[in-house]
Structure 1
Amino acid sequence: MLAAARARLRRLGPVQAAEAVSRGALLVDIRPEWQRRAEGGIPDALVIERNHLEWRLDPTSDARIEEATDHDVAVVVVCSEGYTSSLAAASLQELGLHRATDLVGGFHAWRAAGLPTS
């Protein structure tokens, strides 16, 4: 399942993800609160825990976030190590968010790359 999900994604490394965000992509942290508290966060990342992801980012959902304007929104999903995020990004693609992808190595790779954390 993981291999199939990743085969459809153009996964980004930490620096590529930061560059995508600078061009307007949404960086979405799907880790649960306890994990963000233990590991740290990413400043300005949208926090949408995994079990809320699809209905908050689906532009046709009544419960969507303000940034979920259409199916062309670029989304980079972040989890702790880059496994759950691959499955989540593939699920977003199934909703029609064709530019959804994830961060290789997750938050741990982001922090190891020296990118901002909180």
Structure 2
Amino acid sequence: MAIRNTDQWVDSLRPRVAAVTPQELSDRLKRGDKITVIDLRELQERIDSGTIPGSHHVPRGMLEFWADPASVYHRTYFTEDAEYVVFCAAGQRSVLAAVTLMEMGFPKVSHLEGGFGAWKKEGLPIEDAAATSRWQRKTPRDVQVG
């Protein structure tokens, strides 16, 4: 059996997932629409690049566990009636995550078209995640060898 090509797989799933542009999401957040924004990127990506203001960090590998109300890892911002916009760096992990959430029973899920890279390219607001995180990237001079 051949290994599935990830780009092709994600592209085959895209029609199942609603997409919002960075400007659409920004406008909706400015209006005060009740949207839960989920940052799926790894912690270090969030610290290094910043994030969409007010987003929740949910590493892709923990999504199902944090979203499941029966899980010991459940996060209370995952509720049946909430609307979710998930994002990653470029819009691939977010397609997979959106499909997963929909298959879990969450009815209002979309993904950010182009991911955080597109958000940043549009010049939209970025929250400095490093300023509030207890985890930081160490510079070479901070690393002790030996």
Following the alignment from structure 1 to structure 2, what is the Cα–Cα distance between the partners of residues 38 and 93?
A: 30
Larger radius of gyration: 2
TM-score normalized with structure 1 length: 0.88
Is 2:114 the partner of 1:105? yes
Q: What is aligned with 1:7?
A: 15
AA in 2 matched with 1:93: M
Within 2, Cα distance between the matches of 1:80 and 1:57? 21
Describe the SS at the equivalent of 1:107: helix
1:15-34 map, 5 Å = 15-21=23-29, 22-34=32-44
Partner of 2:57: 47
For residue 62 of structure 1, report the CA deviation from its aligned partner. Answer: 4.2
Runs of 5+ unmatched residues, structure 2: 1-8, 128-146
Give the residue type in structure 2 aligned to 1:30. L
SS of equivalent residue, structure 1 residue 87: helix
Q: 1:20 to 1:4 in 2, by over 3 A?
A: farther
The residue that corresponds to 1:79 in the other structure is 88
| Separation in structure 2 between the aligned mates of residue 18 and residue 74 of structure 1, nearest angstrom | 15
Cα distance in 1, alignment partners of residues 112 and 60 from structure 2:
15
Please tell me the root mean square deviation across aligned C-alpha atoms, in Å: 1.6
What are the ranges of 5 or more consecutive residues in structure 1 without an aligned counterpart? none
Q: How high is the TM-score relative to the length of structure 2?
A: 0.73
Work out the percentage of aligned pairs sharing the same amino acid: 32
C-alpha displacement of 1:23: 0.9
Other structure's SS at 2:18 match: coil
